[in-house]
Amino acid sequence: MSYARTTCFSGYCWGLDESQVIVLGAPLEETTSYRPGTRFAPRAIREASAYIEYWSLRGKLDVDEHVRFYDAGDALVEQPLEKALEAIGDAVERLSGVGKPLVVMGGEHTITLGIVEGLVRAGYKPCMVQLDAHMDMRSEYAGRRVSHATFARLVVSEVGVPVVLAGVRGFVREELEFARANHVPVIDAHRLQDESVAAVIPAVSKLIEKSVCNHLHLTLDMDVVDPGFAPGVSNPEPEGITPRILLDIVFEVARLAVLRGMSLSMDVVEVSPPYDAGGVTSVLAAKAIVEFAAGVVAARSSAR
């Protein structure tokens, strides 16, 4: 497989056979419309991951004792955009075939389109949970049909993947009408702050029950978090959720997927290190990946 080698997530370069979770970088940055820098995010998240602790308060376990991360390096993203998305999809198709949870570190949010296309090519029938300040369901943005602001519309309308959308607070009428017309459950930021996990898990459970999906993909745009906690993102929006709510949801979604017998994957996108005061957004992104792994471990432990 063609990957450019980089510093490994968690600080340890485990082999594929001895690992339990796979990590891939996708440093795509082509349609960013406000604050650039997402191409530097995989490197920054990897660096942060080597210095945080791996104890999960939610799972009451040390992820370091249960999970070894195989870092596949970065997908070789090249212009034009379509070629980059194909490369990301090819990497996801190959790595998801190993049968282990996969985490992709972006990059701009457009990478999610390539990821779900790769999952479909690998034979999965995915459902998607989108944590995001924005709907990303415009028909076009800045003259582009495919971009960070349109990818979710394409995931629903062209790839045919059902979606639950949570944390939104920045969108236009066109997007809201599309979501309603396509029966996309939308949990806005106010409700998410008030109800936390209780607002999301029932919607995800219902999505799984209604759909024929056998794979759950969680896409995490770091701008879902309030910029007071996560300033280093491409398109910050006020009134976001707290880190605790974010990590609770990531943990519970991963746990739910395993308990339902589904395969699962996750992406973390839109971190912009040049705007990240103190590197706190990269740290939170790395912690989200750790809690994703903790949810997997907790579910497998309870099923024994």
What residue numbers does the annotated binding site for Mn(2+) cover?
109, 132, 134, 136, 221, 223
Instruction: Give the Cα separation of 12 and 26 in Å (integer).
Output: 19
Instruction: Choose among 74, 105, 87: nearest CA to 5.
Output: 74
Residue type, 25: G
Peptide bond into 37 cis (omega under 30): no
From residue 39, how far is each of 108, 134, 257 by CA, in Å?
A: 8, 20, 30
Contact 163/128 with Cβ under 8 angstroms?
yes
Known binding residues: 109, 132, 134, 136, 221, 223
Rounded Cα distance between 207 and 192, Å, is 18
Angle CA 231–279–65, to nearest 5: 120
Distance, CA of 221 to CA of 106 (rounded, Å): 9
Tell me which DSSP letter residue 52 carries: S
Question: What single string gives the DSSP state of each residue in 119-164?
Answer: HHHTT--EEEEEE-SB----S-BTTBSSSTTTHHHHHHHTS---EE
* β-pairing verdict for 3-4 and 69-75: antiparallel
Residues 108, 272: Cα–Cα separation, whole Å:
9
Query: What's the CA gap between 283 and 47, in Å, rounded?
Result: 9
